[in-house]
């Protein structure tokens, strides 16, 4: 394995760690939240004429499943519903987007089906490799649209990297750090190796009997490349922040293009609406699940359905003054925040990435917001939680009210998070060239590949993609010997 940085981990160690996977027996042991049945009813009312033919059979199956669930008067009907078809349709509809030129994109059905059919096996595989998932709750990252997140016990994605690194070492795999891939070695239409360079300038040439897997991530840390391909956002400024590792500069895409690969969906990128305004980091402040999200702008008003997709949230945030929002929480909600300890909270308060006050009025003053406006906003939101319906923005899933002191505010601003486009692949993770033919011996998995998430990725689907197509790529490269020398 080649890694251009001094340490492995890439973007995975910067994630929240959630893997979206449908596991009804586990999910069904948790009660439904207010508004979740309303989401299912909206799907029932969705016009079939709006669904692509490839997805239509799954959509009809899903409607039958939802109808049966909503008609269930037993206790089971009050617990969380999920199905592979729901995951598939949400991935499809959640990713279907039009760019500024009115060109529509949606996820390739075969790839989306492969993802949603096989991701639970990926969770089981990770468990076998030593990852310990927290089974005490069903997680849901921002923009996931549904609760199906499997989250490791350790913070962020560290447990994945540690477990897989240990497995690789136990099976005598080699990791070359500070080694940058520069060129794929090609013989006809077959990839037979790779040329790379060490940090000290020494050249490395590796020949392979099986092929090469590109798992380099996207180009979220390459602003010029983002600007070059962008057809979705009105503007990507030069000083845009990113949640990504600085390693994410599009290396794998460049290598694939040199080998003749076709690109798909390159004009679409995703912004994370809840990033640190100064650094782009994800995990400063107090980050909670979307059912407990309350966003206010600098005027103290809510401005969006906080349960929406990431691009919708980001666009709404960018329309606010300075592109800023504050996530508001109380003590009960803070207790459920991601990767939060008292030591971390105290450090965040000292750094100014989190603000705290004993009353809502005092918190408003710290935010330079009119206290009356702010308190009215929070009281109105609490009323919606009681009623299970948001009259202002139709947020349709709620959990807790904001009512127990002390109160907290986390400043947030959108930052580049995920690049949707990449190398075209098939269901075996083989890279496809511009003529529509397989490039023998070349495979791609994760963010370097395009075609799955289309114009917008659901929260929790990145790691689902990485591990599922990563496993498929590994299986493919192990079983398909190339004929090149």
Q: What is the pTM of this model?
A: 0.93
Residue 482 has pLDDT above 70, yes or no: no
Please count the structural domains in the chain.
2
Q: Are residues 329 and 360 in the same domain?
A: yes
Residue 73 lies in a domain: no
Contact between 67 and 85 (Cβ < 8 Å) = no
Q: Catalytic residue positions?
A: 310
Of all residues in the chain, what percent carry a pLDDT higher than 90? Answer: 89
Q: Are residues 401 and 476 in the same domain?
A: no
Identify the CATH number of the domain in which residue 386 sits: 3.90.700.10
pLDDT digits (tens, 9 = 90+) for 319-340: 999 999 999 999 998 888 765 6
Q: Are residues 138 and 286 in the same domain?
A: no
Beta bridge partners of 329: 408
β-strand pairing of 295-296 with 325-330: antiparallel
477: buried, middle or exposed (CB in 10 Å: 19+, 13-18, 0-12)?
buried
Q: Are residues 159 and 109 in the same domain?
A: yes
- Across the chain, mean pLDDT equals 95
Rounded CA separation 342/339 (Å): 10
Q: Are residues 403 and 432 in the same domain?
A: no
Listed residues 416, 443, 470: the one ending a domain: 416
Domain with 205, as residue range(s), is: 1-19+96-268+420-484
Residue 38 lies in a domain: no
pLDDT digits (tens, 9 = 90+) for 98-148: 999 999 999 999 999 999 999 999 999 999 999 999 999 999 999 999 999
Six-digit token pair at 187?
Answer: 């013989």
Please compute the mean of the pLDDT values over residues 36-62 and round it to a whole number.
97
Q: Are residues 466 and 402 in the same domain?
A: no
Q: Are residues 299 and 440 in the same domain?
A: no
Listed residues 416, 438, 459: the one ending a domain: 416
Residue 127 lies in a domain: yes
Residue 204 lies in a domain: yes
């Amino acid at each position: 394995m080649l890694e251009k940085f001094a340490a492995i981990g890439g973007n995975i160690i910067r994630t929240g760690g959630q893997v979206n996977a449908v596991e009804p027996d586990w999910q069904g042991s948790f009660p439904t939240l207010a508004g979740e049945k309303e989401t299912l009813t909206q799907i029932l009312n969705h016009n079939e004429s709006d669904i692509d033919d490839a997805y239509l059979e799954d959509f009809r199956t899903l409607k039958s499943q939802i109808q049966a669930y909503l008609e269930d008067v037993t206790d089971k009907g009050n617990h969380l519903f999920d199905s592979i078809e729901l995951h598939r349709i949400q991935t499809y509809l959640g990713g279907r987007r039009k760019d500024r030129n009115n060109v529509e994109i949606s996820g390739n059905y075969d790839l989306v089906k492969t993802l949603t059919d096989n991701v639970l096996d990926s969770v089981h595989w990770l468990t076998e490799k030593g990852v310990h998932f927290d089974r005490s709750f069903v997680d849901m990252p921002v923009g996931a649209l549904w609760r199906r997140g499997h989250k490791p016990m350790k913070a962020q994605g560290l447990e994945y990297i540690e477990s897989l690194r240990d497995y690789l070492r136990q099976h005598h795999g080699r990791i070359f750090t500070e080694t940058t891939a520069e060129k794929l070695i090609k013989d006809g239409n077959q990839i037979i190796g790779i040329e790379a360079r060490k940090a000290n300038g020494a050249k490395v040439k590796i020949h392979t009997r099986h092929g090469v897997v590109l798992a380099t991530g996207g180009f979220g840390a390459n602003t010029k490349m983002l600007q070059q391909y962008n057809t979705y956002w009105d503007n990507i400024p030069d000083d845009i922040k990113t949640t990504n590792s600085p390693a994410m500069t599009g290396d794998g895409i460049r290598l694939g293009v040199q080998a003749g690969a076709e690109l798909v969906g390159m004009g679409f990128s995703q912004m994370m609406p809840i990033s640190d305004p100064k650094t782009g980091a994800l995990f400063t402040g107090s980050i909670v699940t979307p059912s407990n999200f309350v966003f206010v702008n600098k005027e103290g008003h809510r401005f969006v359905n906080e349960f929406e997709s990431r691009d919708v949230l980001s666009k709404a945030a960018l329309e606010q003054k300075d592109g800023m929002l504050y996530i508001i929480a109380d003590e009960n909600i803070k207790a459920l925040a991601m990767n939060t300890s008292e030591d971390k909270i105290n450090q965040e308060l000292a750094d100014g990435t989190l603000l705290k006050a004993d009353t809502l009025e005092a918190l408003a003053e710290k935010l330079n917001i009119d206290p009356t406006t702010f308190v009215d906003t929070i009281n109105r939101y609490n009323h919606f939680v009681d009623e299970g319906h948001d009259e202002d923005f139709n947020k349709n899933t709620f959990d807790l009210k904001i009512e127990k002191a002390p109160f907290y505010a986390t400043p947030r601003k959108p930052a580049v998070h995920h690049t949707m486009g990449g190398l075209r692949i098939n269901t075996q993770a083989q890279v496809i060239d511009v003529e529509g033919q397989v490039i023998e011996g070349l495979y791609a998995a994760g963010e370097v590949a395009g075609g799955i998430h289309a114009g917008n990725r659901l929260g929790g689907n990145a790691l689902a993609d990485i591990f599922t197509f990563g496993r498929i790529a590994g299986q493919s490269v192990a079983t398909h010997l190339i004929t090149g020398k």
